[in-house]
Chain A
Amino acid sequence: MCGVSGIYAPRFAPVDRAAVVRMTRTLVHRGPDEEGFHFALGIGLGHRRLSIVDLASGQQPLCNEDRTIWVAFNGEIFNYLELRRDLVARGHQFSTSSDTETIVHAYEQFGLQFVEHLNGQFAIALWDERARRLLLVRDRVGIRPLFHATLPCGDLLFASEMKALLAHGALQAELDPVGLAQTASFWVTVPPRTSFKGIEELAPGSMLIVDNEGRRTLSQYWRHRFPDANDYEDRPLDYWVGETRQLLHDAVTLQLRADVPVASYLSGGLDSSIISALVKRFHKTDLRTFSVSFADASFDERAYQQRMAHYLDTLHTEIDVDASAIGERFSDVVWLAERPLMRTAPAPLLSLAGLVRRNGIKVVLTGEGADEVFGGYDIFREDKIRRFWAREAGSAWRPLALSGLNEFVRRDAKMEQLWREFFRKGLEQVADPFYSHRLRWEGGAAMRRAFSGELRAQMPDEPQLLEDLSAYLDPDRDRWHPSCRAQYLEMTLFMSCYLLNSQGDRMMMGESVEGRVPFLDHRVIEFAARIPPRYKIRGLNEKYVLKRAFADLLPREIVERPKKPYRAPIVSCFLADKDNLAAELLRRPALEESGLFNAAGVDSLLRKVTNKGVASERDEMIIATVASTQLLNHHYIRARSPRRTVVADCTGERVELT
C-alpha cells in the first residue's frame, strides 16, 4: 500500500522535479518504508511505499524490460500470481515477484483492457513512453483514492491525496461551494467534483488517458449492473447461499496474500465476524483481531466483539475511545480526509488504525461493503416498507412495520404518530428515481442555512444538484428492481465517496495501515447483484442470504442480533469545555473570522444543544460539518503548507533519477 503522485507535462515540456519530490513527501503516512521516483522528459512519477508484497524487490516506480512502460501504483493486485503465470506463459519476463510488475506486463499484453484482468484495489499511474501517454486508473468501487488537477500551462498533476497536489505550489486552495452544496444534500461530493475548486477526483471504475497533446479521454471500464426488474434467474435459495459462501471464501483467500502478517477488525456486527471466522477457520490459526470500544455505552459494542473474539479464540486487542479523544483526533481526521464530514465516526477508526500499527501489523481485513452489497441497511428496509405502504396509502396497519426500523423511532416511541407522518412525505411518488434517498437528502436545506450568505449564493439549487447527480448515475437504473436502485445509490454515493475513503483508506493510511475489503471483490459484487431482491431482504430480515451462508461459522447471538449502525458521539466532542482545535474553531470569533458560516445561527445552535444536553441527528450533522469545514479551512486554505500534528515514521529513502 502506498502513495503515488506526479506531473505530466504534455508536448515534451520539462517537469519540475523538485515539485514532484515535494508532492510525494506529503504522502509519507501512506508509505513510510521507501521512496522512489522516475523522471524523463515530460513525466515525473513519485512513489511512497508501505512494503507488503515482495519486500526486497518491489520498489516503485517499476518498468518493463526495455524501460518504456513505468508504473507507480497504490494498492494490491490480489490475483497477481494467476495473472503472472498467464503472462509468463505468453512470453513475458518478470524481474521481481511483486504484484506491481503484473500491471506493466498486463498492459503490454492487453493494452487498455489490462485493467479488466486485475482483481484488486488500486490507483495506478502508468506512463507509456512510446505512445507518450499517461494513464490514470482507479479500482472498480474506489477503494483507493486518486485525484488530479490541470494547471493553466497544461501540466497535469496527479496524486493519491489532494494535499500532494496543493504541495505543488501552483494551485490555490479554495473551497468549492458546489462541492459544499453536494455534501449538504447527498453527504458526499460527486466525482469529479471535490471540496476544492480545480481539483478533480477520478471516478471509481474509470480510466483517464492524457496524450502528448494534452488531450484527455475519460472512460468507465466498470460499473454496477443489475438484472432488469423482471429478469432474474430462476434458481433456488440454496444456490445463492452456496455460491455466496464459496465466492467469499475465495475472496478472503486471495486477500490474505501478503509477505507480512494480516489481522482483522471485529466491529461486533455480522460482517467483520464472517471475515474473521473465515480467516481463522480456514487460514490462520494465530489470527489477531482489533476493535474500537466506546466509553459511552450507547455506542459501545465490546460485549459482542469480545464474544466473537472468544468464540474464534483470536488474540484480541481493543482501544477505548471517549468524546475527548475524538475531539482531539478530529483535527488530524480532517487533515487526512480532506473534506467536510457530517460525522465524527472516522476519528475512532483512526485511533484503531494507530493501535494496529503499534502492534506491528500493517494489513487488516474489514467487513466493509457487506451492507451495501448484500442489503443490510435500514434505508433499504425503509424503502421496502414505504413502497408496501404506498400500495395502500390509507392503510392503518401497513405503516406499523416502520416501528422498530430506526434508532430514533425506538428512542422516541411517544412520537410514533409524527414519525409516521415524516415517512408519509412523498409516499406515493414511487416512480421518483430517488425515492429511497429523497427523505434523507431533504436535510440539505437545513444544512445550507449554516453557511454564510456569500457561500449560499454560490450554491446551485436542489433541482440543479439533482440534475448534475443524474448525469453521473447510470441511465439504465430505472429498469432495475427498486431495491437495487436503492443499493446502487448507496454504493455509488455513500460507500464509494465517503465510507471507503473517509472511514476507510484515509483513516487507515493515516497510520500507515492497509485495509482490505473482501466483500468488495468485484466478483462478489457482480454475483450479489444477481441475487433476487426477495432473497437479499427476506420480509424485513436484512442480509438474509449472507446470514444463511455463514450461520454455521458464527454464534447464534451474532447472526440474530439486531443490526446496530456504527456511530460515534458528536456534540460532546466539541462543546465549550473541550480543549481541542475543533472546539476552538467553533467559537463565535473563529466562525466570524473564517466567514464561511452563518456565525450567529451556528452559535445559537451550539448554545441550544449545550443547554439541552441532547441534539437531533440533523443538528449533530450540522455541528460536525461546521467543525470539519472550519478545520479544512484552517489546514488547507489559511495555512499554505498542509500540516499534521502526528506524522508517521519515515525510514529508508531511495531516489532514482534516470
Chain B
Amino acid sequence: MKTDAEIRDTIRKFVIENFLMGDGSAMPADDQSFLETGTIDSIGALELVEFLEGALGIQVKDTDLVRDNLDSVDNLARFVGRRLVGG
C-alpha cells in the first residue's frame, strides 16, 4: 500500500515529466488547478486517466471524470487514496 506522500510524489513526477517537459519549477502547488494554470489541456486529461489506470492500477469510470477528482494534486491524491482502499 502506498502512503499519501508516495502517491503525491508519483503524481507530481508524472505531471512534470508528461506535461512540463521535465521543468519542475513550473509545477503548480498541490492545491492549484491543472486547468486554471494551463498545466494540462483536454488530451492531457486523457493521459492522466491512462496514468491512473496504468501506473496506479485504478479503475476510472466515466462518472469519475470530474474536476473534483482530477484537477489538482490534492484532488488526485484524495481520489487515488479512496480507490486504493477500495472506496
B-binding residues in A (CB < 8 A):
408-409, 412, 414-415, 417-419, 421-422, 425, 442-443, 445-446, 449-450, 598, 600-602, 604-605, 608, 615-619
Q: A409-B42, A445-B26, A604-B17 are in contact. List 13 more A-B contacts (CB 8 A).
A: A412-B43, A415-B42, A415-B65, A418-B35, A418-B70, A421-B67, A422-B35, A446-B20, A446-B21, A604-B21, A605-B21, A617-B41, A618-B44
Contact B38 A443 (CB under 8 A): yes
- Name the 8 nearest CB pairs between A and B, nearest first: A601-B21, A616-B43, A601-B22, A449-B21, A442-B38, A418-B45, A449-B23, A618-B41
Main secondary structure of the interface of A (DSSP, over half): helix
Instruction: From B47, B65, B67, give the contact of A616 (CB < 8 A).
Output: B47
> Measured between alpha carbons, how far is A608 from B23 in the docked complex, in Å?
16
Closest B residue to A424 by beta carbon equals: B35
Instruction: From A409, A418, A425, A618, give the contact of B65 (CB < 8 A).
Output: A418
> Measured between alpha carbons, how far is A419 from B67 in the docked complex, in Å?
10
Contact B22 A616 (CB under 8 A): no
A407 to chain B, nearest CB (A): 11
> Measured between alpha carbons, how far is A445 from B28 in the docked complex, in Å?
13
Contact B38 A445 (CB under 8 A): yes
> Measured between alpha carbons, how far is A156 from B87 in the docked complex, in Å?
72
Contacts of B46 in A (CB 8 A): 412, 415, 616
B82 to chain A, nearest CB (A): 19
Closest B residue to A412 by beta carbon equals: B46
Contact A421 B23 (CB under 8 A): no
A188 to chain B, nearest CB (A): 20
Whether, in the assembled complex, B66 has its beta carbon less than 8 Å from a beta carbon of chain A, the answer is yes
> Measured between alpha carbons, how far is A265 from B78 in the docked complex, in Å?
55
Instruction: From B17, B20, B35, give the contact of A425 (CB < 8 A).
Output: B35
Contact A419 B38 (CB under 8 A): no
Contact B67 A418 (CB under 8 A): yes
Contacts of A617 in B (CB 8 A): 41, 43
Q: A418-B65, A425-B35, A604-B17 are in contact. Are A598 and B43 (CB under 8 A)?
A: no
Whether, in the assembled complex, B4 has its beta carbon less than 8 Å from a beta carbon of chain A, the answer is no
A42 to chain B, nearest CB (A): 51
Instruction: From A412, A449, A604, A618, give the contact of B26 (CB < 8 A).
Output: A449
Contacts of A445 in B (CB 8 A): 26, 38
Contacts of A442 in B (CB 8 A): 38
Whether, in the assembled complex, B79 has its beta carbon less than 8 Å from a beta carbon of chain A, the answer is no
Contact A608 B42 (CB under 8 A): no
Contact A618 B45 (CB under 8 A): no
Contacts of A600 in B (CB 8 A): 22
Contacts of A605 in B (CB 8 A): 21
Q: Mark B44-87, 1 if CB is under 8 A from A, else 0.
A: 11110000000000000010011100110000000000000000
Contact B71 A598 (CB under 8 A): no
> Measured between alpha carbons, how far is A444 from B70 in the docked complex, in Å?
23
